[in-house]
Amino acid sequence: MSVRRMAALSVVMAAALGGCGVSTSGAERATAAGGGPGAAGSTYPRSSTTTGSSTTAPGTSNPDVANDPVLKKMQADLESLTQTLDDYWAGKVDGYQPPQAVETYLADGSSTVTCGGRPVTGPNAAFCGSDNTVLVAIDWFYEQNQKIGDTFTYFVLAHEWGHSAQANLGVPDNPNIELQADCFAGAFLQDEIDAGQLTEEPGDEQELNQSIALASNDFGTKEKHGTLAQRATAVEYGRTNRGQACVSQYGPG
Ligand SMILES: [Zn+2]
């Protein structure tokens, strides 16, 4: 998948998250540790322009890997998607306040990123409600981009921005919170494909399914995230019926 509107790249930051396995809208937080875009511990401030020219592969200082096309695509996607998601939700929610930063960390806990003052670790991506940030284990993210493909980035970020939308809408924590985020992700993806902002490529549907499956099985919070069937259904419901329908279909009940 790719973002067509490359001009939107001027600013931004990155985003992250995919399964959002661990924290839901309200638990974590992050403080950046510096480094270039894509480097573990780096932050992608909304007000600066990222260059992507001084990156190293997540979790490694090997300069040869910096030229890895998968890494380059992932970093470009993180930047461009952040802006695309911000714009999308700004058009859907009055007074929308987007995540203030996307912060990356290493899954082994060696980074200093926190959410709500607590250290963030583990292979995951999350929306930290208390800090209004999106957190991404960049080494895990890179691994999944290699294994599954670039659609992983699109699904995960779309899901995390779904939590951002919930925070803006004042949706309370409830048993449907994760499935609604999936539904919002589906609505975003299909709306933007239809609008020509995102371009689907061969294999994207399979990659999307694999990404959903990973998010369902890879974490210890299955009950909250839902089974694969539930999550796939929620994403498809969003793609078919769009965002407003997600509000009622997957509301607090
Ligand atoms: Zn989530």
Q: What is the pLDDT of residues 176-221, one digit of tens each?
A: 999 999 999 999 999 999 999 999 999 999 999 999 988 776 555 5
Percent above pLDDT 70 for the chain: 72
Q: What is the pLDDT of residues 125-138, one digit of tens each?
A: 999 999 999 999 99
Report the separation in Å between the CA atom of 174 and the middle of ligand 1, taken as the mean of its atom positions.
Answer: 12
Report the separation in Å between the CA atom of 225 and the middle of ligand 1, taken as the mean of its atom positions.
Answer: 7
Report the separation in Å between the CA atom of 194 and the middle of ligand 1, taken as the mean of its atom positions.
Answer: 24
Map residue 106 onto helix, strand or coil: coil
In this structure, the number of other CB atoms found within 10 A of the CB of residue 140 comes to: 23
In this prediction, residue 3 has a pLDDT band, given cuts at 50, 70 and 90, of: confident
In this prediction, residue 227 has a pLDDT band, given cuts at 50, 70 and 90, of: confident
Report the separation in Å between the CA atom of 63 and the middle of ligand 1, taken as the mean of its atom positions.
Answer: 33
Q: How far apart are CA 69 and CA 229, in angstroms?
A: 32
Burial of residue 187 (CB within 10 Å: 0-12, 13-18, 19+) is buried
Report the separation in Å between the CA atom of 156 and the middle of ligand 1, taken as the mean of its atom positions.
Answer: 9
Q: What is the mean pLDDT of residues 82-106?
A: 96
Extract the runs of DSSP E, i.e. beta strands, from 40-199.
43-45, 101-105, 114-115, 118-119, 125-128, 133-137, 198-199
Contact 158, 189 (CB under 8 A): yes
Least confident of 22-26, 34-38, 126-130, 225-229: 22-26
Report the separation in Å between the CA atom of 165 and the middle of ligand 1, taken as the mean of its atom positions.
Answer: 12
Q: How far apart are CA 106 and CA 59, in angstroms?
A: 7
Report the separation in Å between the CA atom of 61 and the middle of ligand 1, taken as the mean of its atom positions.
Answer: 31
In this structure, the number of other CB atoms found within 10 A of the CB of residue 65 comes to: 16
Largest CA distance in the chain: 52
Q: Could you tell me if residue 143 is left (phi over 0), alpha (psi between -120 and 50 degrees) or otherwise beta? A: alpha
Report the separation in Å between the CA atom of 62 and the middle of ligand 1, taken as the mean of its atom positions.
Answer: 32
Report the separation in Å between the CA atom of 54 and the middle of ligand 1, taken as the mean of its atom positions.
Answer: 31
Report the separation in Å between the CA atom of 96 and the middle of ligand 1, taken as the mean of its atom positions.
Answer: 19
